[in-house]
């Protein structure tokens, strides 16, 4: 039995939950939702992952593993789902990393206003994080959309979750403006059962 330490709002935990659906391992995994921040880490999560970050996956056959990219590779290898195809491996891993970068920058923007006192929020820092996201969106629109076609890979899963997090936390930034191909792809990909069933409430 597997136990996933997760949170509905976390884009990284969602990537794993989508992966569980896509690999068919969801029925063999207990989802343990926790509330955890850098300021107040969940004790169970911290015991599984000493860094205290979501997600973490507890296994019967060894110590818990983390972070989301490690967990998704593990799940894919465990059932041979082909989410990391050898023929496109480096492109898939690069796009997966880009999606993680978008989510990390968006989370930093969110934490800046949620965890700091209002008078200590540093807007230049938030804008610098958005600049990373904007560059990534431009790169996706200009040269990566062809990789988003065809059989589902973890690149698509990670990107779908990262864009979903932008909608959840930074909707006022309107990431779709100037990115019509990416917006069209995201709209279709968001209808997959694995995405609708893991969408944050």
Q: What ranges do the domains of the chain cover? A: 2-79, 86-193
- For tokens 């209808």, the residue is 191
pLDDT of residue 134 exceeding 80: yes
Q: What CATH fold (topology level) applies to the domain 2-79? A: Glutaredoxin (3.40.30)
pLDDT for the residue 156: 98
pLDDT for the residue 174: 97
User: How many CB atoms sit inside 10 A of residue 36's CB?
Assistant: 19
pLDDT of residue 93 exceeding 90: yes
Do residues 134 and 173 lie in contact, with contact meaning Cβ atoms separated by under 8 Å? no
Q: In what order do the strands lie in the sheet with 56-58?
A: 29-33, 2-6, 56-58
pLDDT, average across residues 189-193: 98
Asked whether this chain's domains 2-79 and 86-193 adopt the same fold, the reply is: no
Query: Which tens digit of pLDDT belongs to each residue from 25-65?
Result: 999 999 999 998 888 888 999 999 999 999 999 999 899 99
CA–CA distances in Å: residue 112 to residues 135, 140, 191, 198: 20, 26, 31, 25
Burial-class residue 7 by CB neighbours within 10 Å (0-12, 13-18, 19+).
buried
Taking the C-alpha atoms of residue 26 and residue 197, their distance in angstroms, rounded to an integer, is 11
Query: Which tens digit of pLDDT belongs to each residue from 179-188?
Result: 999 999 999 9
The continuous run of DSSP H or E covering 30 comes out as strand 29-33
pLDDT of residue 197 exceeding 80: yes
CATH of region 86-193: 1.20.1050.10
* % of the chain beyond a pLDDT of 70: 100
How confident is the prediction for the chain on average, in pLDDT? 96
Do residues 6 and 55 lie in contact, with contact meaning Cβ atoms separated by under 8 Å? yes
Confidence category of residue 201, pLDDT binned at 50, 70, 90? confident
- In 3D space, the residue among 152, 147, 163 whose CA is nearest the CA of residue 193 turns out to be 152
């Amino acid at each position: 039995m597997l136990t996933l330490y997760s949170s509905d709002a976390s884009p990284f935990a969602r990537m794993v939950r989508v992966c569980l659906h896509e690999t068919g391992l969801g029925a063999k995994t207990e989802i343990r939702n926790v509330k955890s921040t850098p300021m107040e880490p969940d004790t169970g999560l911290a015991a599984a992952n000493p860094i205290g970050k979501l997600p973490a996956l507890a296994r019967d056959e060894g110590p818990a593993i983390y972070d989301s990219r490690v967990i998704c590779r593990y799940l894919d290898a465990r059932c041979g789902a082909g989410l990391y195809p050898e023929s496109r491996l480096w492109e898939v891993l690069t796009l997966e990393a880009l999606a993680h970068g978008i989510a990390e920058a968006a989370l930093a923007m969110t934490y800046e206003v949620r965890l700091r006192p209002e008078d200590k929020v540093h807007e230049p820092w938030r804008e610098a994080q958005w600049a990373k996201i904007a560059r990534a969106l431009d790169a996706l629109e200009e040269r990566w959309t062809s990789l988003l076609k065809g059989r589902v890979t973890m690149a698509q899963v990670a990107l779908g979750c990262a864009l979903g997090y932008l909608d959840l936390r930074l909707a006022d930034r309107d990431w779709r403006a100037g990115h019509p191909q990416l917006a069209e792809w995201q709209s279709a990909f968001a209808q997959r059962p694995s995405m609708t069933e893991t969408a944050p409430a």
